[in-house]
Amino acid sequence: MTAAGLAPLDPDTAQRTFRAVLDALARPGTVHRLPAGPGVPAALLPTLALADLDTPVAVLTENPDPADAVATATTAPVTDLPAARLVAALRPLAAGELGTARTGSAAAPEDAALVTLAVPALDGGAPLRISGPGIAGTRTLAPVGVPADLAAARAGAAFPAGADLLLVTPDGQLLGLPRSTRIEED
């Protein structure tokens, strides 16, 4: 994918992506589906659908082309992880990297980042127990490819501050972990 090869999402794909993201964050730990994207990694769709001229984005990948392509397609300013409001992590995050994402504050939780993590699968990894609003009791998840320090990174921000997370598989399965969700290693 090159900067010239990525067009803005069509309105229908953008709206269906937005709806899937909202549903995933409203029902933490349940699997949703993103629409088929226009030849881009599924984990890039939320950023493409939500970015605009005033929303700083970071695309974490080994290749700079996707970040340039997102900037071209959305007119969003490209920045680094700590300054971004929308993050598309198309590569695995290093230990401690998730903890540098914007968390907002108690007075301005809306300043936090929405971090989309590309993961190979939503099942088969180390178990995580989640609880909080939208979850009856607790739920156990086992996503593959999440940062080893996911639970610790999330515990570092006191609600209502904290980054919202989306886990996205290559085929577009989507799982939301909003900032209100408590994550513990099982």
DSSP 51-100: --TT--EEEESSSSHHHHHHHHHH-PPB--GGG-SEEEE-SPPPTTTGGG
Look at residue 5 in the predicted model and tell me its pLDDT: 58
Q: Which two tokens stand for residue 114?
A: 């929405």
Distances (CA, A) of 24 to 53, 86, 168, 173, 174: 25, 16, 11, 10, 7
**Domain boundaries, given as residue ranges, for the chain:** 3-185
Query: Distance (Å, rounded) from C-alpha 47 to C-alpha 36?
Result: 14
* Closest C-alpha among 165, 176, 84 to residue 134: 176
Look at residue 4 in the predicted model and tell me its pLDDT: 46
Query: Distance (Å, rounded) from C-alpha 84 to C-alpha 51?
Result: 11
Give Rg (Cα) of the chain.
Answer: 15
Distances (CA, A) of 155 to 119, 151, 163, 166, 168: 21, 6, 11, 17, 22
Could you tell me which CATH number the domain at 3-185 has?
3.40.50.11310
Query: Distance (Å, rounded) from C-alpha 104 to C-alpha 152?
Result: 17
Q: Which two tokens stand for residue 79?
A: 């920045």
Partners of 114 in beta bridges = 86, 164
Q: Which two tokens stand for residue 54?
A: 């005033």
Query: Distance (Å, rounded) from C-alpha 145 to C-alpha 117?
Result: 9
List the chain pLDDT tens, one digit each, 186 residues.
444 457 788 999 999 999 999 999 999 999 999 998 778 899 999 999 999 999 999 999 887 666 777 878 888 999 999 999 999 999 999 989 999 999 999 899 999 999 999 999 999 999 999 999 999 999 999 999 999 999 988 887 888 899 999 999 999 999 999 999 999 987
Look at residue 139 in the predicted model and tell me its pLDDT: 95
